[in-house]
Amino acid sequence: MTTSLPDSVLDAIACEPVRTRPARLFCAVTGPPAATVVTDFLSLQHWSKLRYFLEGVRRQAGADFDDAGFAYDTDERDPDEVPFTGVELYMPWDGVLVSRSAFDRLMARFFAAVTRGAIAQDDAATREPWWPDFVAAVDDIQRRCDNQK
């Protein structure tokens, strides 16, 4: 059974850019014990995963990479799957349900911190042809959050 997390748990998750090199992460994520699945998910900071998950959040469509990811209640589901409301965020060993608005706020904070961390570390990704679209996607999510207020 998937646990539902209140918005306050997601809102308590801190996302801070990692500014020093060499670093394996661009964003340090900390949160309350109830958010372990979420903080573990946010530790998957390889560019291929980051880009894929960011596009899913931008389009509000589920994304799965090696049995870790998220699904929206509007995604196409198998008939035998239990319906839910909001976003299901999961790792291979567990999952949680969260509201769309809290998920958007968290992902906006997370990807903004990833962006700042990559810039501060002068990561090679910031010079890739896809980088401007990555930054634009982060801005799109932040605007969506701003419009939800």
Cα-flanking dihedrals φ and ψ of residue 118, to 5°?
-65, -40
CA neighbor of 52 nearest in space, from 126, 105, 130: 130
Strand partners, 88: 71, 97
pTM for the model stands at: 0.94
What are the pLDDT digits (tens) for 16-34? Answer: 999 887 667 899 999 999 9
Mean pLDDT of the chain: 93
Cα-flanking dihedrals φ and ψ of residue 95, to 5°?
-155, 160
Name the one residue in this structure whose structure tokens are 């198998």: 78
